[in-house]
A and B are shown apart, each in its own frame.
Chain A
Amino acid sequence: MLASPIRTARQALSKRPYICPSCLRKAKLQPLASAQPFVARSYRALHTSAGPPSNDAPFRKLLKDAVKRKKKEERATAASSSSSSSPQQTPKNQDLRLEKWELTVGIEVHAELNTARKLFSGAATSTGEAPNAHVALFDIAFPGSQPHFQIETLVPALRAALALNCRIQQKSSFDRKHYFYQDQPAGYQITQYYEPFAKDGHITLYPHDFPSGVSPDRGPIIIGIKQVQMEQDTAKTVHQPPSTHLLDFNRVSHPLIEIITLPQIHNPTVAAACVRKMQTILKTVNAVTAGMEMGGLRADVNVSVRQRNTQAADTGHTYHGVTGLGQRTEIKNLASIKAVEDAIIAERDRQIDILESGGVVEGETRGWTLGSKTTKRLRGKEGEIDYRYMPDPDITPVIVGKEMVAHLRNTLPMLSDDAITMLVDVQIYGLTPKDASTLLLLDDGDRLDYYLDVVQYLRSALSDYPETLARVGKTAGNWVLMELGALFKNEEWSDSRVSSDQLASIIEYLLRKQITGRTAKLLLAMKFEGDARPVGQIITDGDMMLKPLSHHEYTDMAQKLIEENPNIVKDIVEKHRHQKVKWFVGQMMSNSAEGTVEPGTAEMVLRNLLELPPMQSK
């Protein structure tokens, strides 16, 4: 089946990685957590970063918001073109400013790899476990301890890099990046500075990657990826008011990849779409543990603006080989896609304000908190840390064989672009691009799995009824996304609430015209509310099967209605308001038992009695 590559990937994704029991035992045996009373102090100067964001609205909501915003913007533009402007922030003025100034953005995404063990010790990776439960000697930098590179951590990292179209380097090595902070036990982070394991990739953004379904540049946008490197995560600082900070080293040395794009993004929406797409790709290839909503992904952005149409190549700044750029600032630790977009907009506007008023943008590191109007200065160039990168003398270079790369490339799960291509193909599933990307993003891919199950069931169930087969994909899409989606609106998705074969069964009755659409919705609601009977049973018990009335019965019923409503007949016949026939159809349906009156037949009979031309077939 076509669906199978995705299915295997999804199944693999839902499983927790294998952890060898002896490793877990070993990790637990380490008496380190309790050996040292290293937490019960009060600290004065902690710069705790904000916790993981709770915000990451479902994609469908984003789509709606985007459409609303677009309409609003259009109205606003229309309005402002007539009434002339108040200062700066009006959209027109904003447009003028953006015509003059070009934004340039580069992104660094940090993602937690989905691995069983830490990067340099056999300790298990964990989330949500008792603090300091999984910590090896090296993880907390005990004197005399040494790193043990866990070679298996390369697998998800390589998958991620391949999915991002990178060249895997035959040889890569690890370096120490020095800075002092209590969440960094060794006083340095082990990363790949001089020789990263993957280079020169790219990510392509298609219209379906944008919430509005439209790419700002009217076509695919390609963003270069300079490199992907492996590195260690830091410990977690837990603030206990008023003045206690506790350190949890479970996360320390969890393997991360850092993905560095080239500064080739010129639009905040593109930057957001880029991060969202990276997240999707990383999830699809099972490289990461969690998305941004769980703190599994964090982004830093470099933002600069320059005047358009100026040849500043010799005077401007050069970042990653891209020349002629304006002075950039870095905004650190953005924890949601919305934050990426909003922070870039705020920083762009701040820099333009400075430049327009004749000022100079300082190269500095800035922060952003969700909901704020502007970025905040964290430290300037003079406060910039010299990381003193040094090759780690204890870690031998990593050599990756060609066969390994080829194997991983061949077994890479289907990527979202390929999946979308398949889902929108009218020969296969025939979904709209919007529905396809929604399906892909919902519930970590569970919704897509569910959809594929429904389609598969219907295709085999309806094999004796070939005229419906072409509609199966689209109809199932509607029911999975709209009808079932509406029921799950305020609840967490579960694929067992209404099992895929029960939904498929409802759709099958509908497509066979054995029940009406209204009955189908009712059945779905009953299953959703926990009716344990099979769909067929409910239909039998409730006598819901469409029982066609005889032509005579239709005529009697129609005749009676016509006689009772002469005014409407008058409207229809004399004023040619033929659409009012529908009112009679509705009356016939509601006056009779559920599922007995078929609207098509009812209308035909009515038109016949009223001597109207037959229905136009749609």
Chain B
Amino acid sequence: MNHRLKYLAFVPIVILALAQFFPIYVIALTSFKTPLALMEDGMSLSFVGLSLENYQKVVQEDGFLAHIWVSLLIASFATFFSIVIGSLVSFALTRFRFRGKKFLTLSILCSRMVPPVALAMPVFLLVDVLGIHDTIWGLVLAHISFILPFCIWVLLPFFVALPHDLAEAAVIDGLNSRQIFSKVYLPLALPGILVASIFCFLFSWNDFLYSLILAGSQTKTAPLAINAYMTSDRIEWGAMSASSMIVMVPIFLLSLLVQKHFAKGVPSAGIKG
């Protein structure tokens, strides 16, 4: 193919990429405009009235960082527990032989596809019964319910890929299975654990459904706080965009780290999972 044709082939794709990028660009631009400039007619895409006012308002007046902190705590705990539980079971599923293994694997892998909305009702009641309504633990528990199956799904291929003879060698060296797990396999599975942690964190961080149902005044997560800028009488577009950016930018950076795995992971979900 000659060069000119090749550049021509880029045109539709570049247009498509710009269209894909446009809503993100609009939010970024809006976040940097003064509320006054946002009120002006016909100016939503102009560069007039750029400032950091929205960010100042969101952080200093509205205390948005407190909500970030809540989200951060919940996502960290949910990720931590999911990874611990997930790597234990991944190890067992790939290194032990036992009855019902196939069934267990299948049910774990299938449970990641169950829509959380369908379980919202019983999880809500469970949290209520446990009396952890409006604490971060209620949300941590709810998040684990949909993060853990996903976590195991990401971890399993990494554990499958680790060589089998390692365990045999370790047994000969006199290590018991707990030591084999923690001293031999865990360090080797670290890249997988890192990828899975990022995924778990993203899922918990992005969650809105359970926050909406379970969070109270003490546990208002960042996505809920963003949504709160929209009330029935008005929408504070500037503050809303600024808080969205604060929530989104770290996520984008994190997702860049796993994007390669993401592109790989989804198709293998189709073929492997």
A and B associate in one complex:
no
